[in-house]
Amino acid sequence: MSQTRPRTDASTTIPTTTPSRRVPHRPAEGTLTTTSGVLLLVAVLSGALLAGCTSTPSEEGKGTLVIFHHGSPTPGIEAAEKEFEKTHPGVKVMREKGGALENMRKVTDLGRHADVVYTDDYSIIPPVMFPDDANFWIRYAHDEMTLAYGSNSKYANEVTADNWYEILQRPDVKWGIADPNAGPDGYFSVGQIALSNAKYGDDMIFHDLLEENTAIRMTTNGGQMTISCPEDLKPKTSKVVVAEDPETLYPMILAGDIDYAFGYMGSVIGEGPDGIKTVDLPKEVDLSDLSLVKSTYNKITMVMFSDSSERKLTVTLGAKANGLTIPSNADHSDYAVDYLKIFFGPIGDTALQNVAIQPLSPPETNDLTKVPADLRGSLKQGE
């Protein structure tokens, strides 16, 4: 399995053949886990003992590090968690996995407490959590968008970075995409399809793939594109499957239920089953090149829940960059700082690189003065 290459050279050409990447299998992860791997089936009340976790009388009361996270950085999170346990005996680590928006809404809407909240798009932290529930973001890694398929997919021997959009339009091909209203998994995928219009010189790609098969619509004004995603996407299920997250789509490929699925590399390699392959897309489409953010990616504005005044969320598309924050209601921000120092170090970086996520060294933040003082030395001021 080859590693994801850095994308900084604007002269990079589109490959004429499709590199294949075999994906190591990762067992399914429970929604709520502790360091002992026990699946919790009941809500955890404040001060309650977690099933499967043990503590001595002297360790009780030290507290719990609570982490809300999405799927792709899980290997890095697990690696940092194990090291954190060694240096913090008796502190419980509770991880809850869900979609990026879902995890943030647990804090903002449900009032739940978390010490670290991860997202696969750092740029949605401000519109969702600022200023009441968080006041800084940390951008710690970059990823790239891709198209996943299997050896059993229709036209698997033909698909390349030059023709993938044509193959998806064939009548007998069925493909999947994550719900853009559920979070970055989906709206990045919608964005990469929109960017394909300019890259391939075909103004009908977005129309033929999305407008013909869903209620998603795009308007263009002076080179800027606005994409509206209503709550009911109305997919033509004979052609397109819309899922909450891309991880549920990859097994469907191997089962023959769909032929292709949009996603990002860290998700495919970190969460996908063995046997999934990927199309290596050009940098103008895969959202991996920081030098193209302002000139290319920022031309896309995504409007989620576009038909709901109460739920509408507008995001300017940028590079595929993972982020996190320490919420304002964190019970143990001190534990969060100690854990993040490990996650941002060699242990976390190596685990992320193994699933094709490229760490930033050092990570960047929007405001060093708002980051806990003990964590500032691990970061630099970003744009």
Mean per-residue pLDDT, 67-94: 96
Using the predicted structure, report yes or no on whether residue 134 has a pLDDT greater than 60: yes
Domain residue spans of the chain: 32-70+72-142+321-381, 145-316
Please classify residue 138 by burial: count the beta carbons closer than 10 Å to its beta carbon, then call 0-12 exposed, 13-18 middle and 19+ buried: buried
Q: pTM above the 0.75 mark? A: yes
Domain 145-316 part of CATH 3.30.9.10 = no
Multiple choice CATH, 32-70+72-142+321-381, 2.40.50.140, 3.40.190.10, 3.30.110.30, 3.30.300.90 = 3.40.190.10
**What whole-number distance in Å separates Cα of residue 234 and Cα of residue 240?**
10
- pLDDT above 70: percentage of residues in the chain: 84
Name the β-bridge partners of 116: 67
**What whole-number distance in Å separates Cα of residue 261 and Cα of residue 244?**
13
Which residues, 6 or more positions from 130, have their beta carbon under 8 angstroms from its beta carbon? none
Do the domains spanning 32-70+72-142+321-381 and 145-316 agree at the CATH topology level?
yes
- Alpha-carbon distance values, 225 to 34, 50, 168, 321, 339 (Å): 43, 48, 22, 21, 40
Give Rg (Cα) of the chain: 21
Over residues 367-378, the pLDDT tens digits come to 999 999 999 999
Name the β-bridge partners of 176: 241, 261
- Alpha-carbon distance values, 313 to 248, 302, 316, 358 (Å): 24, 8, 10, 28
Using the predicted structure, report yes or no on whether residue 103 has a pLDDT greater than 70: yes
How would residue 337 be classed by pLDDT, with cut points 50, 70 and 90? very high
Q: Give pLDDT, residue 47.
A: 37
Give the tokens for residue 308.
């709901």
Q: Give pLDDT, residue 272.
A: 87
Q: Are 283 and 292 a contacting pair, CB within 8 Å?
A: yes
Using the predicted structure, report yes or no on whether residue 29 has a pLDDT greater than 70: no
**What whole-number distance in Å separates Cα of residue 5 and Cα of residue 155?**
26
